[in-house]
Amino acid sequence: MAKMSAAQAAVLVMEKEGVTQAFGVPGAAINPLYSALRKQGTIGHILARHVEGASHMAEGYTRAVAGNIGVCIGTSGPAGTDMITGLYSAWADSIPILCITGQAPRARLYKEDFQAVDIESISKPVTKWSVTVREPGQVPQVFQQAFHLMRSGRPGPVLIDLPFDVQMAQIEFDIETYQPLTPYKPAASRAQIEKAIAMLNAAERPLIVAGGGIINANASDLLVRFAEATGVPVIPTLMGWGTIPDDHPLMAGMCGLQTSHRYGNATMLASDFVLGIGNRWANRHTGSVEVYTKGRTFVHVDIEPTQIGRVFTPDFGIVSDAKAALELFVEVAEDMKAKGKLPSRRDWASECLERKKTMLRKTNFDDVPMKPQRVYQCMNRNFERETCYVSTIGLSQIAAAQFLHVYNPRNWINCGQAGPLGWTIPAALGVRAADPSRRIVALSGDYDFQFMVEELAVGAQFKLPYIHIVVNNSYLGLIRQSQRGFEMDYCVQLGFENINATEESGVEREYGVDHLKVVEGLGCKAIRVYKQEEIKPAIERAEKLMAEFSVPVVIEVMLERVTNIAMGTEIDAINEFEALAESLADAPSSVAAAMLD
């Protein structure tokens, strides 16, 4: 046993739990913990410009690499309330992050002390656990429990609130004998898997819906093995995008009201059986339950017992970690295949692949100012397969999901349910901090970009380079499009006559904010693009600038002001707006050559 401050014990526990990086903003009420971090020297720290930004950096850090848990630290009062959006985003998408806040001394709680707020109560609805530690001797075990809870069952965030005097108090603690607790993960039984496969075998047009739980469980390779063993096509959700490569012949497209493919919706409507694994039947994926479920049988596998039947009651539910379930699915399916007991899915898979080749949306526009569809075509052609895309919400994200191609898990990093504007920049910085070598391309509309643009200074200060594509139409594009239902275009225009615009840069007179000057003022590099043929040289230049200066590089693409992106109120009633593609020119390059085994 050794005598130490409770704050030092917290740092030692985090170190034992595998934490090597934290994000945050120091403050008076959390300085004891920062002192312990500095003295121990084993956990790096990146200074955010806003505590919400730090929470999103922690999210990006967790989402980027299997096993990571991002840590966000802030002082008392507004630091905790600033974290709420990050906690909500992490909670909604089953992402474990640890938020640590300082707090007023215990004697000053509930007395309206300066920056003293009941953050425990405020954050409870968007965390797996939120606790204000009132006894110094509990600090090591509270941190131990936090990591246990974040990793057990459905992953999610935890907030630990530390009063100043609790951090400072001396306690006895033996770190040498400390051991992390083994996470609890429910596992399917063989009988449950055999029943699910029997139901699948009885169907004529089955599909697998692959959710983000598969990525959380690091089980994408097992999903592909299972699909290939059974010959059943896969519909990934937005959070499960990348579980199967986009150009795999059994990748049947995404389904949904917005972030979907024409061929994905058509294939879902043609199916008669759906096996959902690690998904939550989100409304942007399903539309109305009546349309989505009509004529189909459902099996649902999820790690969270209360998720089964939450949106609609499946015909059969299995509570299981996605990896544990898929290990058995693969074992049973491959054994049945070897014995010739699986039905052939060749005709059904061929039908799905034909839709994938022909039911496309047009991207090959030559308009100037550019249509966004052409921007994504250029991105597909100029970014390699291993590119990791980071995006949040808006028409830019919706169009990205319709037109970009993703080939690996954790190469589409997106906040699926919460969708907070401003998320993209800090999340991309968190991804970069987690993986110094990955090619990272963030994607924002102009409003998402402006929301937390100050965090670019973090990328400059801490040398966190990545490419950020900003598609600028000077509009709240998604809200403008939804306002069509109210026959208005109200308070969604971002353009204004910038009094600092020059004749040489006349575009700012219409588009308002000069993002290039803002980016450069924050210590980063920026390039502006007007035509599609300028995109490839801009990407090449961005790569050189990153190599030379090791800072984020923004490529701003000037778009036409109004473009409607395909979406609708039901998966069988999507408004496509634009003319449709007639060939494979807009499809993944290898789809045309894909052949079924």
Residue 271 is given by DSSP the state -
For the chain, residues classed under CATH 3.40.50.970 are: 2-177, 372-565
What does 211-241 look like in DSSP terms, one character per residue?
Answer: -HHHHHTT-HHHHHHHHHHHT--EEE-STTT
Q: What is the pLDDT of residue 502?
A: 67
What does 387-402 look like in DSSP terms, one character per residue?
Answer: PEEEE-SSHHHHHHHH
Instruction: Report residue 543: phi and psi, to 5°.
Output: -60, -40
Residue 106 is given by DSSP the state G
User: Which residues of the chain, if any, have pLDDT below 50?
Assistant: 506, 588-597
Q: What is the pLDDT of residue 42?
A: 94
Least Cα distance to 100 among 24, 6, 40, 8 occurs for 24
Rounded-to-integer distance, Cα 522 and Cα 544, Å: 19
Q: What is the pLDDT of residue 477?
A: 63
**Which residues are CB-contacts of 506 (< 8 A; sequence separation ≥ 6)?**
none
Q: What is the pLDDT of residue 385?
A: 93
For the chain, residues classed under CATH 3.40.50.1220 are: 190-358
Q: What is the pLDDT of residue 595?
A: 30
What sign does the CA torsion over 133, 126, 306, 254 have? negative
Residue range 2-177, CATH number? 3.40.50.970
Measuring CA to CA, how many Å separate 60 from each of 15, 46, 212, 437, 519? Answer: 20, 13, 15, 15, 21
Q: What is the pLDDT of residue 170?
A: 96
Q: What is the pLDDT of residue 17?
A: 97
In the structure, how many helices (H) and strands (E) does the chain have? 24, 21
Rounded-to-integer distance, Cα 304 and Cα 301, Å: 9
- Report the CATH fold assignment for 372-565: Rossmann fold (3.40.50)
Rounded-to-integer distance, Cα 473 and Cα 513, Å: 11
Residue in the block written with tokens 């109120």? 569
Rounded-to-integer distance, Cα 463 and Cα 142, Å: 34
Q: What is the pLDDT of residue 366?
A: 86
Q: How many CA atoms lie within 13 A of 61 on its CB side?
A: 29
**Which residues are CB-contacts of 231 (< 8 A; sequence separation ≥ 6)?**
250, 342, 344, 345, 346, 348, 349, 596, 597
CATH of region 190-358, choose from 3.40.50.720, 3.40.50.1100, 3.30.300.30, 3.40.50.1220: 3.40.50.1220
- DSSP, collapsed to helix, strand or coil, labels residue 524 as coil
Helices (H), 362-423: 372-382, 395-403
pTM of whole model > 0.85? yes
Residue positions annotated with a catalytic role: 25, 51, 421, 476, 479
